[in-house]
Amino acid sequence: GSLGPVLWFGVFLGCLLVCIGAEGDSSSPWYQDLCRFKWEAVDLDNHVKYSLKLCGSSPPTSCGPDVAVCAQNLTSREEQSVGDLSLQRLTGSVLDYNSTRKCPGSSNNIQSSISFQCGKTMGTPEFVALAQCVHYFEWKTYSACKSQKFKPHKEVPCYVFDPDNKKHDLNPLISLNDGYLVDDGNDDGVDFYINICRSLSKSQREDSPVKSCPDDSAACLVTKQGSFSMGSPTRPLELVSSDRLRLQYELSANQSPPDMCGKHQPTVNITFICPSSRHSVSTLEMIPKPNCHYEVEWVTEYACHRDYLESHTCKMTSEQHDIAIDLTPLTLGSSDLPYSAHSGPSDDAESYIYFLNVCGKVHTNECGEDSFISSCQVKKSQDVKKVAGQYQNQTLRYSDGDLTLIYPDGSKCSSGFQRMTIINFECNKTASNGGRGSPVFAGETDCTYYFNWDTAYACVKEKEDLLCRVRDGNKHYDLSPLTKNPEAGESENWVVVNPKSENSNSRFYLNVCHKVIQRGGAAVCPEDASICAVDKNNTA
């Protein structure tokens, strides 16, 4: 599709303001942190994969050392430059790379344009559009912020593409507040904290559990004797298989191992496992190893490809997402009063009021007439009115049992970060307002506004149907021990053979409360089958 010139003129003007004060001299650009890596983005509609080399010091693309943006046709495997490193132009926070090749049927050259916006992590480049031989990308990253507020001591790219060019993105797991406590099964007064792809971000709380951890540590052992770094990210997130990702943390060359490790250098391997079926919880556990070697396994749906977790509409489907969700009944029309929530007591002059809609325009003029405003922040005592999010680029995400709706692209804060609204929906079949329920303000962090919303429309039918337990009065029945799980390695399906059948070579493969495992004789079974017949010709 085409991208209107008015839109991109606005993007250019807006982006000019984002990084004023953030630019260094020409030898050390403000995006220097991004130069250590080669980056990738995919245009699935046109079957094109892009490799990006931002600086001369960055790893080369497959198009050669002088190419900044390399485009590979995923069908023909043909590669071509769509932006040369020597033809770079930086205007505010928009980075353009021209090329020497002409656009077919035009006097313009083929080129690439990257629009940077302030984000809270290193982020990833996202392909936006191709219009008149200009390849447009958008990148939300801490490097583009006016302040250093979100800049970590160390961070690595936190996404990968699998062989099907589907994106697995762990950026939502990056903690900006104290990290994650890993369960090691012991109650010995020793705690192990990790962050994902990034050094631990310490909160301002006095009782922060990682406040004494070394600044660059992404894995930290907290003991009564002190806190010790067990490593920091050394390389980007890696793809092990289609359902497994891996991070590795090590000490830097100038760091000495803690005394408890003796002569051994501590290492931390974190494996992320995409579960084979929808789970309501994620599990994070440590597998004990000797000599300061830590193996952490995290079963989480964030390890699955992004298209499985996310929708850009108000619905999720069983075919794509393994669950069925429809939030459109929550969308209010122009004749309805908007949903509202207060940040404090309604009679408090310092309290904000938020007007919201779900997957649609909020019908109030408090924040202007823009047709995509879905979250509006108002403080009447000081006549403050800010757009807190828009539904044009919204994301509906279901992962590890959490259903969230994310509205980006709000008004800019002082840091340069654009305001954002995140709504966490919870299933409540007896919710007020005819089952719709209403939003409740949950808090604000760095211009991101959080709301909790109990509603009957967040109840996932498939999630209930797949539970393998049932109660009959005081009797409980649980068939989950009969479930065969692919994560169990050599686990196989249940097999049934009918010896009296004329077609005795046929076999029935079945699983209990789960799809069949496509392994062994059941490898030919349909992906979504729970029981499958395979004949002597190996046909399902």
Q: What is the mean pLDDT of residues 501-529?
A: 83
> What is the pLDDT, as a whole number, of residue 362?
95
State whether 441 and 521 are in the same domain: no
Coil, helix or strand at residue 249: strand
Whether residues 448 and 494 share a domain: the answer is no
**Which among 274, 58, 77, 70 is positioned nearest to 160, based on CA atoms?**
274
14 pLDDT exceeds 70? no
Alpha-carbon span 385 to 381, nearest angstrom: 11
Same domain, 452 and 472: no
In a domain, 300, yes or no: yes
Residue 49 to residues 36, 39, 63, 162, 169: CA-CA distances in angstroms?
A: 20, 11, 12, 12, 16
Q: Of 465, 513, 462, 460, whose CA–CA distance to 485 is shortest? A: 513
Phi, psi of 512 (to 5 degrees): -115, 120
Parallel/antiparallel/unpaired status of strands 109-118 and 134-141:
parallel
Residue 124 CB partners (closer than 8 Å, separation 6+)? 39, 41, 139, 157, 158, 159, 169, 171
Strands 267-273 and 293-299: parallel
Structure confidence at residue 7 as a pLDDT band (50, 70, 90): very low
Domain match, 69 and 48 both? yes
Mean pLDDT, range 151-162, rounded to an integer: 96
pLDDT at 144 over 80: yes
- Reported as a single tens digit per residue, the pLDDT across 183-205 is 877 777 789 999 999 999 877 77
Does any domain span residue 158?
no
CATH number assigned to the domain comprising residue 425 = 2.70.130.10
Q: Round to whole Å and give the CA distance between 71 and 410.
A: 32
pLDDT given at position 295:
95
Q: What is the pLDDT of residues 462-492, one digit of tens each?
A: 444 445 666 555 555 668 778 887 656 667 8
Whether residue 144 is found in the same domain as residue 177: no
pLDDT of residue 279: 67
Indicate whether 223 belongs to any domain: yes
Q: What is the DSSP string of 485-510?
A: -GGGSS---EEE--TTSTTTT-EEEE
In a domain, 163, yes or no: no
In whole angstroms, what is the distance from residue 56 CA to residue 65 CA? Answer: 8
Lowest mean pLDDT among 153-162, 199-208, 300-309, 416-425: 199-208
Q: What is the mean pLDDT of residues 90-100?
A: 93
Q: Report yes or no on 178 lying in a domain.
A: yes
pLDDT > 70? residue 11: no
Question: Tell me, what amino acid is at 248?
Answer: Q
Residues 284 and 354 both lie in one domain: no
Residue 321: CB partners within 8 Å, gap ≥ 6? 308, 309, 311, 398
Q: Are residues 419 and 521 in the same domain?
A: no
Rounded-to-integer distance, Cα 418 and Cα 447, Å: 7
CA distance 114 to 92: 11
Work out the average pLDDT over 93-101: 94
Question: Which percentage of the chain shows pLDDT scores above 90?
Answer: 57
Of 138, 156, 144, the C-alpha closest to 119 is 144
> Is the predicted pLDDT of residue 441 greater than 90, yes or no?
yes
Are 403 and 513 part of one and the same domain?
no
> Confidence class of residue 246 from pLDDT cuts 50, 70 and 90?
very high
Is the pLDDT at 457 greater than 60? The verdict is yes
- CA 182, 186, 189, 190 torsion-angle sign: negative
Under DSSP, is residue 350 helix (H, G, I), strand (E, B) or coil?
Answer: coil
Quick one: pLDDT band at residue 267, thresholds 50, 70, 90?
very high
pLDDT at 312: 93
Average pLDDT over residues 33-58: 95
Backbone angles phi, psi at 461, to 5 degrees: -65, -45
Tokens matching residue 443: 């808090």
Query: Do residues 92 and 206 both lie within one domain?
Result: no
β-pair partners for 131: 134
Q: pLDDT tens digits, residue range 365-416?
A: 899 889 999 999 999 788 899 999 999 999 999 988 889 999 999 999 988 8
Least confident of 119-133, 148-162, 456-470: 456-470
Q: Report d(CA 118, CA 446) in Å as an integer.
A: 12
Last residue within a domain, chosen from 402, 437, 458: 458
| 3-state secondary structure at position 291 | coil
Query: What pLDDT was estimated at residue 149?
Result: 86
Does a structural domain hold residue 385? yes
pLDDT of residue 271: 97
End-to-end CA distance of the chain: 41
* pLDDT at residue 20, as a whole number: 35
Q: Which residue, 426, 458, 490, sits at the end of a domain?
A: 458
pLDDT score recorded for residue 470 = 63
Largest CA distance in the chain: 83
491-517 in b/e burial notation, b at 16+ Cβ within 10 A? eebeeeeeeeeeeeebbbbbbebbbbb
Residue 287 pLDDT: 86
What pLDDT does 341 receive?
Answer: 95
Q: If you write DSSP's letter for every residue of 177-190 in order, what string do you get? A: SS-EEEB-S--SS-
pLDDT score for 2: 40
What's the distance, CA 270 to chain centroid? 17
Q: Are residues 76 and 109 located together in one domain of the fold?
A: yes
Tens digit of each residue's pLDDT (9 = 90 or more) over 108-119: 899 999 999 999
Number of domains in the chain: 4
Tracing tokens 């250590």 back to the chain, one arrives at 36
pLDDT for 79 equals 96
Q: What pLDDT score does 23 carry?
A: 38
Read off the pTM: 0.74
Which of 431, 458, 485 represents a domain boundary (last residue)? Answer: 458
Sign of the torsion formed by the C-alpha atoms of 186, 189, 190 and 191: positive
Please say whether the beta carbons of 164 and 241 come within 8 A.
Answer: no
Q: Which two tokens stand for residue 328?
A: 């459109």
**Does the residue 284 lie in any domain?**
yes
- 9 and 143 housed in the same domain: yes
- Range of lowest pLDDT (15-29, 75-89, 370-384, 387-401): 15-29
Is 162 among the domain residues?
no
Q: Report the pLDDT averaged over residues 70-92.
A: 95
- Enclosing domain of residue 448: 311-318+323-458
Report the sign of the C-alpha dihedral through residues 248, 253, 259, 261, in that order. Answer: positive
- Let me know whether 369 and 401 are in one domain: yes
pLDDT over threshold 60, residue 26: no
| Pick from 348-362, 434-448, 465-479: least confident | 465-479
